[in-house]
Structure 1
Amino acid sequence: MNQLTFLGTGDAMGVPRVYCDCDVCTEARLMGENKRKRSSVLIDGGDGDGTSEQFMIDCGPDWRSQMEDQGLRMVHTLLITHAHFDHIGGLPEWADACRWLGVKGRLYAPREVIATIQGQFPWLGRHVDFLETDGGIELGGWKVHSWKVCHGHNGYSYAYRLDQGGYSWAYCSDAIDLKTSEKEPLHGLDMLVLGTSFVHELAEFSTRSVYDMREAQELLRELKLGHTYFTHMSHDVDVRQNYNLDQGITIALTGMKVPLGTLKLEMNA
């Protein structure tokens, strides 16, 4: 069964933030409901053998502990949204795992993202094959389309739309102020994973880089899609609170599993 697992749902700093003693960070340290590693998801379309049909979207600095959380020893294929540290910081550990296992990892990303990664980690090519997504690819039975989206003050990111058997979903973790052409692939989806760093971010708009939950709900009303999961959340978000979100929106939790092909969700035991 095709299934998505949230490996992490935090923003670039994660929760708790090491310097912070706010209520959310304190709760994350003491009880852990708000503890959030950097955002990443695992897609498993296989029959349980844990090999060729698995792939991850993004590989942040929490990659090793996320793998341990899931009892995984290796994922051979990655899909990368952009070359910011919270999305690629785990690549050296992943490549080293490839080296020790004697396998060549497969890293899919748009051409310009690959070029940036190769510039930052020039030795990765010894253990990893770089494969471009620009013309569209097929991965784990999904037809995958990538396109550039506005990441505000932080430049750009890429979103991914995945289609299979009449079911369509997208992953858009780092975006804000999307233009009409950037929204187009999101219309009418069965499911969307969308980054929302704050409930209501008060910083001056030109300094911001990700939707907040209020803005995201306005976007979703326009897109008219199935179900949405909010991810990439800062310490402003307290998962214990009821934010009276629109119907069809769920705040994603680490370990949450979402079957791809239905709107049913279940929590990881």
Structure 2
Amino acid sequence: MKITLLGTGGSAGLPQIGGADGRGDWGETDPAEPRNRRSRPSIVIHGDDGKTILVDTSPDMRYQLTGCGIGKINALLFTHAHADHVAGLDDVRILNRILGAPLPAYATREVWEELKLRFSYAMQPWNGRFFGRPALEPHEIFPGQSFNVFDTRIFPIDQDHGYSRSLGLRIGNLAYCTDVVRLDDTALAALQGIKIFIVDCFTTDQDHPTHAGLATVREWIDQLKPRRTILTHMGPAMDYHTLCNTLPPGIEPGYDGMEISA
């Protein structure tokens, strides 16, 4: 199995809108380092069966997929319904045209209800004609209950996202836990034995109200003892080279387009 990190930035991306010249606010990061240019968080799971699963439809989805050379998606999975994870949904119609069919899509009941409110046109049954809008084949999933997407077994983990909930994903010995500020005992138990931990880390110090900071992430690492930890959903204080030079062995910043074999 392989994972492609499509986007590793926060909800505003990096650079954020603004800056002294209007060309972007890079915060404390070096604009000359291309790995500091971060789009909104998303991954693609490449299954052993050759099928691809897109996790979240970020507003940057079009150039993420084209930039990474991923021309076909076989299924979708949503971790939660925040805009940085679903606002690219309209571009799914192009994925439908490539596949020639509605895309199987997996989410909790709460996420489906939110998507129906915000993207009602995309939630209608496919009429069998031209894909002028997204066409999804919805499947409801439940935290703590494993499910299969083709030949890939996924265990969804309920996560505390501050003012809301999100799903972490365990796939074999790898876990993807974006948009989380606290992991309770049940979540930590579900993550025991992982070897690769892709995890939300928005700040270098204290937690953000909805996202973990580095100190909290390191506490999780001490408990889980993964072989490799890769940081994602990084904010404007998270400079790539500074992190590489200061993080201990086994912990590294991710970057857009990074590929991880598991």
TM-score category of the 2 structures, normalised to the smaller one: 0.7 to 0.9
Please give the per-residue CA displacement for 1:171-219, whole angstroms capped at 9, x wherever unaligned: 1101112221222211221111100011114xxx6x6101011221112
Whether the aligned pair in 2 keeps the contact of 1:16 and 1:25 (CA below 8 Å) is no
CA distance in 2, matches of 1:96, 1:75: 10
CA distance in 2, matches of 1:68, 1:124: 23
Aligned position for 1:199? 204
Total equivalences in the alignment:
245
Q: CA deviation at 1:243?
A: 5.1
Aligned position for 2:156? 146
Whether the aligned pair in 2 keeps the contact of 1:15 and 1:25 (CA below 8 Å) is no
Q: CA deviation at 1:129?
A: 0.7
Aligned position for 2:131? none
Matched, 1:162 2:164: no
| Alignment counterpart, residue 60 of structure 2, candidates 34, 38, 62 | 62
Aligned position for 1:265? none
Matched, 1:129 2:137: yes
Whether the aligned pair in 2 keeps the contact of 1:10 and 1:232 (CA below 8 Å) is yes
Whether the aligned pair in 2 keeps the contact of 1:24 and 1:34 (CA below 8 Å) is no
Aligned AA (1:114): W
Aligned position for 1:53? 51
SS of match in other structure, 2:240: coil
CA distance in 2, matches of 1:26, 1:188: 34
| Alignment counterpart, residue 71 of structure 2, candidates 70, 73, 94 | 73
Matched-pair identity in %: 27
Point out where structure 2 has 5 or more consecutive residues left out of the alignment. 127-134
SS of match in other structure, 2:85: helix
| Alignment counterpart, residue 119 of structure 1, candidates 98, 113, 117 | 117
Aligned AA (1:246): P
Instruction: Flag the 1:243–1:209 CA change in 2: closer, same or farther, 3 A.
Output: farther
CA distance in 1, matches of 2:220, 2:34: 30
SS of match in other structure, 1:236: coil
Normalising by the residue count of structure 2, what TM-score does the alignment of the two structures yield?
A: 0.85
Aligned position for 2:188? 183
SS of match in other structure, 2:65: helix
RMSD (Å) for aligned C-alpha atoms: 2.2
